[in-house]
Structure 1
């Protein structure tokens, strides 16, 4: 019996090729989306689960709270981990990690190389397998180095590199390091990411580590004993800190801030929304919102595809009415008819599933690029996922075919055999499903338009400074001496194609100072006299730094407008700022307009510019003209190598750096756009089905109207009007839903576009236009039909 069901189902599918093709296309797209999202989510939830000690591993995190709120970071200082281990018996092992970069010399070639300093236990507590070397001892010698496979191949053309040497630039000299181990390349689903690992005690031997309790700039991981409860460890962290750091805390007696230590489970790091500081050996951070968003899109598109199946099957029902009547007269029970139609549905779902597998394989490289993943179709084929997909296949076939099976099996044989069957044009369920489809599609259209606009806003907004043709050139970690720096700068200023050159310490550091009775935090940078002019940052009040004022480096600072607001000053020129950590009082001599030194996803914070002589300028900001940029870059390289021969020449352009800050938004713009196109396409398939159903159920009405003189245009308009009403109704439903969702998304941006009715108007126009095109074909086809054919049975 079952074999007969599927045989008849196959005949029906092949007989109605267009109907089958449209249905299979819709289901295939829906299933493809589901497969891609399952791959994505599987990869997300698999992060770090290969770690042998995953349940006992934690990262120490710190929360700072004051009258302005609380801020949590995953950074600690070098002293914290060892002190906690010594005082808290539940802690089995501690590993500190800190990122750095070095110049490596190999066969007289120079390379910039990232590195992670780590304690001896790094390869014991983290499951990062070594191809060569002993995990217990690879970091025991301070001049040892561990390479990944890729880096070993880069420098030695082989992974058999143990015992070989590399020269690392330490200060102004090169020191030799011996390869003690070669590790497998870090898995893509690992939060621990490194290319080379150096012993942390090398930093300690060089005196590079901060031994104070109030510094926070590296990661500290703790491995608890098997039976230890992290909840009992947390209060002990605070007690140890309060005891050991009592003297430093006492020096901050005027401060109202409080410091609380906590343990962050290692498995939560990858998708932690609160802590974005994934550095010092950590990377590949994500957010659960992406998994939720993609899952929602995939399920909605699959649901739309199932709705389409219902609509198309009902639309074709009149053509099978006599078949159903004959089956009933011949003795078929309703359960048998239901089984027959469900068999057809499951068979169609199976064919769609096969096409979806092929389509997934084709689309996967593009999806990997958009999602920044390295997924493979083979990830789908484990026992749990295979079982899930079989279940998805059966559920999809059952859900899509259940209503049509019930509806068609309920036809009266007398009415069907005498052509007296009339399917009501009200058909609320079918129309409701179409409204639901288009409401979702319109919401996605609005979302796409808003995301496009927000991305354009982020990438084109005036930053408060000019980043065009602005080269950023590093002169090495810490920068050269002042004399060398001045010579390089002078030669570049005299080079053709260069408008101006400025010195900068290279990054924005966070610090704090006292103003009156309050302590405020701000970003702190070192610059020279030409920084503001080169970046074209307007000076709102006061003056710029100048060599005419010899006291500027030790007594003067420039601040931004956000600093003035934070300090509560009305007239900031001449105001004093006391730096407790260097026991110095500095005076404000100028105020610059607020400019976006961070991305537009962050609010402009208070900023202070200094010429502190202890703040070495290791970065040049070089403004180029547009005449011959390649030739100018070549000239800059010659000057660079002339004075800094032991560094590779590497540079970036500031506008490209700013653009890369929004790579995630750019990828999501593409993903949402693709999802919108798919949802509209699949929704139009459903609309086409309803149009077909409507045209077939009104053939005689159309014939009578034509006999009475109605024009083709009038008839096509009549048949299309109902559908346009449905689309307009779906737009009304989509407006509040999309407004709420998009408003919530935009709240994450302190600088954002304003939602206007333009987006909804454009979405409405697009949706109506697509609906008219979809419905128009079937309506015109019905209007052009010869009335003799539709009326001859009367």
Structure 2
């Protein structure tokens, strides 16, 4: 015990004696550890999504796969029939629940607002572990006019939590009907794919439940619970066999009506484990699911954490060796008086563990300080308590031991092997040619350079996504959503809006919400986005017409038989001259439309998706659901007042809300904008820690070559000559690191960019900029110690010779 206390006392004295280097060592290691801890929090949250449900290992989502035109399509949506029919006819399925997302109009104190809701089966709380503050989970959804509300909704609607038995007025058709609160649920955990404030009972008419065509209606999510002793593959085979038998007639009817080609197949039904929903990029979170994640971000962050931690450990080793010369005589004296190598190794490992412990303590403080900012950037609600998990604590303990041993073991071996005679007569060479330290410097600068290039690539790509020209003008446009607007009502509202001089134009539409298919003149089928607009839409958004003309009230046929398409549609259809071509909606009694104009492609979907074929019509039997209202610049206040008054006049029973179109477009890429900041911070942190390590090696080199430099100065070497001597060695190492990092980073960047249909080009300039930046940073880092050594009095270094 006394020996351990003595080791700790010596270690503490040594740390105090070298405050600056101890601080640099602790700072570099703590930054690496805090970075690793924050990212560990993020990754833990991602992989633990939805794992709080008690029966999560037996819950599966019903999904479908189908090959269309040689391409496999995966679909996570289902409809009315899949849940009840599979439950009734497939052994091993114990229960099911359907979840459908939507919105309902709610009246409160005379005001009407739109509220997101989930419609679910009565088995919802028996399958999912969402705790109730009040109410019976088995019966709260039995009554068709029941409503389950969250804590947040109760506070918002009633101003209190004890609202059991209260009523909420919800519009059913055109009448506001009372719904009784039968349960109050705790707010959904932030790491849940199902988020809700209001639950309503799922309603299915007898007609829909018995209509086999609903096998091919997909608008909700169906989850099933399997018997824990059943085999998933066996159940999928049973599901497929029953589906092919039960839906064969409906499939034949669908093919006869809508076509599908000779290779049309019924598709396959499969089961997706509920725990995999969050990170599934092939089946998007929709129809009642939210919080979709992307495993790419976890991979990127994990890579950053690993790089930073490795670099921090490398620095620890290099800085420890760099300062070893200051303890040379201590080591020699301790060996002369009987100290053996084992004691010295224990001493230096003890100092390493003490330093690591201090670094861990500082890392925890950094995590606590930075966590709110990290949450904001990563769209999380992480707390430090997440780290207090048994498995994570074991991981931290392993991380601590690994860091302390890897950082301290090599220095301990190097320092403890010095010959005491050579040490006391200053005739020893620390670390020989320092091959390990040089290798570590090359490694850390290779990692840093790779991360810088990767960060530049990702930053430029995300910057491109957030600033790219969408192909239309979204400035000064206010969008109002209102479902199922008839042409007559839309015209009435538009005329009312245009009475204000600040309203430039009004364009009712339902762009981007409908998808369908049709046949071309050569009988080839084509899938496309189907949009209903009026003649104001293209002029308002300044979308160029590249061929033909725009819709016009002067042409009566535009409202019934004429259509416009985008360039992607023309390309997909292989039309050389699109004007006059026809499109046949064969499933609507062979309705045939004629192309009168072609617009330039624009991004009506996210830039992460390729521009798809798009068809525009003014047909009168399909309703609008959105108004794009162009206003004069700097007239928002007056315009919004007039828009609200007009809306309430024409639609008195509908909730009113608005958004600015350019704000919506910016919000669509908020995640990319935030990830730019995270990656930039990771790159800067890596550079900073790498510079610390380079500084340490510069100190080592300078102290090893003190006498050489003294002799050179006595023989006439200038300060610049000495700086060149000291700098050249490190620039060689940096050049080697760049030569290793650049080709690897180039391949990795190109592979990553393949995920984006619209992406930047990786040019040679980026690599030149990266190389220049790394070299300049290395020179600045080396220059400080090089100048100090070059200006030192050579007499002091030669005095002992």
Q: CA deviation at 1:157?
A: 1.0
Distance 1:767 1:782 in 2: 23
Corresponding position: 1:328 with 2:372: no
**SS of corresponding position for 1:63:** strand
Tell me the equivalent position of 2:372: 365
Tell me the equivalent position of 2:687: 680
Q: CA deviation at 1:198?
A: 0.9
Q: CA deviation at 1:585?
A: 2.5
Q: CA deviation at 1:283?
A: 1.3
Corresponding position: 1:55 with 2:63: no
Residue 664 of structure 2, aligned match among 657, 662, 666: 657
Residue 703 of structure 1, aligned match among 700, 710, 713: 710
* Structure 1 unaligned spans of 5+: none
The equivalences for 1:185-224 within 5 A come to 185-201=187-203, 212-224=214-226
Corresponding position: 1:489 with 2:514: no
Residue 563 of structure 1, aligned match among 566, 569, 584: 569
Residue 33 of structure 2, aligned match among 12, 31, 34: 31
Residue 502 of structure 1, aligned match among 484, 487, 507: 507
Q: Show CA shifts across 1:351-399 (max 9, x none).
A: 1111111111011111111111111112212333223222221221111
Distance 1:624 1:765, change over 3 A: same
Distance 2:312 2:634 in 1: 56
Distance 2:59 2:584 in 1: 41
Distance 1:553 1:82, change over 3 A: farther
Q: Show CA shifts across 1:13-53 (max 9, x none).
A: 11111110010001101111121122112212221112122
Distance 2:581 2:212 in 1: 31
Distance 1:35 1:424, change over 3 A: closer
Q: CA deviation at 1:320?
A: 1.2
Residue 575 of structure 1, aligned match among 568, 581, 585: 581
**SS of corresponding position for 2:51:** coil
Please say if residues 497 and 632 of structure 1, whose CA atoms lie closer than 8 Å, have aligned partners that are also in contact.
yes
Residue 558 of structure 2, aligned match among 552, 569, 576: 552
The equivalences for 1:7-86 within 5 A come to 7-86=9-88
Distance 1:117 1:196 in 2: 9
Tell me the equivalent position of 2:279: 271
Corresponding position: 1:426 with 2:433: yes
Q: CA deviation at 1:202?
A: 6.7
Q: Show CA shifts across 1:748-787 (max 9, x none).
A: 1111110011111111121111111111110000111111
Please say if residues 562 and 594 of structure 2, whose CA atoms lie closer than 8 Å, have aligned partners that are also in contact.
yes
Tell me the equivalent position of 2:97: 95
* 372-381 or 353-362, which deviates more: 372-381
Distance 1:470 1:298 in 2: 43
Tell me the equivalent position of 1:457: 464
Please say if residues 142 and 202 of structure 1, whose CA atoms lie closer than 8 Å, have aligned partners that are also in contact.
no
Distance 2:188 2:300 in 1: 28
Distance 1:143 1:60, change over 3 A: same
Q: CA deviation at 1:241?
A: 2.4
Distance 1:210 1:734 in 2: 59
Q: CA deviation at 1:424?
A: 6.1
Tell me the equivalent position of 2:168: 166
**SS of corresponding position for 2:215:** coil
The equivalences for 1:155-554 within 5 A come to 155-201=157-203, 212-251=214-253, 252=255, 254-255=259-260, 256-258=263-265, 259-276=267-284, 278-423=285-430, 426-474=433-481, 476-479=482-485, 481-505=486-510, 507-515=512-520, 516-554=522-560
* 637-646 or 336-345, which deviates more: 637-646
Tell me the equivalent position of 1:594: 601
* Structure 2 unaligned spans of 5+: none
* 705-714 or 783-792, which deviates more: 705-714
Distance 2:780 2:646 in 1: 64
Q: CA deviation at 1:59?
A: 0.7
Distance 1:456 1:203, change over 3 A: farther
Distance 1:178 1:420 in 2: 90
Corresponding position: 1:625 with 2:627: no
Q: CA deviation at 1:611?
A: 2.1
Q: Show CA shifts across 1:114-158 (max 9, x none).
A: 001111111111111111111122121221111111111100111
Scaled by the length of structure 1, the TM-score of the pair is 0.96
Distance 1:274 1:644 in 2: 39
**SS of corresponding position for 1:373:** coil
Distance 1:11 1:257 in 2: 79
Please say if residues 212 and 250 of structure 2, whose CA atoms lie closer than 8 Å, have aligned partners that are also in contact.
no
Residue 777 of structure 1, aligned match among 781, 784, 794: 784
Tell me the equivalent position of 1:6: 8
Distance 1:86 1:171, change over 3 A: same
Please say if residues 23 and 312 of structure 1, whose CA atoms lie closer than 8 Å, have aligned partners that are also in contact.
yes
Distance 1:211 1:182, change over 3 A: farther
Distance 2:248 2:585 in 1: 21
Scaled by the length of structure 2, the TM-score of the pair is 0.96
Please say if residues 425 and 694 of structure 1, whose CA atoms lie closer than 8 Å, have aligned partners that are also in contact.
no
**SS of corresponding position for 2:352:** helix
**SS of corresponding position for 1:551:** helix
Distance 1:205 1:477 in 2: 25
Distance 1:263 1:549 in 2: 52
**SS of corresponding position for 1:101:** strand
Distance 1:783 1:436, change over 3 A: same
**SS of corresponding position for 1:55:** helix
**SS of corresponding position for 1:81:** helix
Distance 1:728 1:360, change over 3 A: same
Distance 2:115 2:152 in 1: 12
Please say if residues 143 and 202 of structure 1, whose CA atoms lie closer than 8 Å, have aligned partners that are also in contact.
no
Q: CA deviation at 1:208?
A: 14
Q: Show CA shifts across 1:462-483 (max 9, x none).
A: 2221111221111x2222x433
Residue 129 of structure 1, aligned match among 116, 128, 131: 131
Distance 1:415 1:779, change over 3 A: same
Please say if residues 138 and 144 of structure 1, whose CA atoms lie closer than 8 Å, have aligned partners that are also in contact.
yes
Tell me the equivalent position of 1:111: 113
Distance 2:396 2:476 in 1: 52
Distance 1:39 1:160, change over 3 A: same
Distance 2:791 2:633 in 1: 63
Q: CA RMSD in A?
A: 1.9
Distance 1:580 1:204, change over 3 A: farther
Please say if residues 493 and 646 of structure 2, whose CA atoms lie closer than 8 Å, have aligned partners that are also in contact.
yes
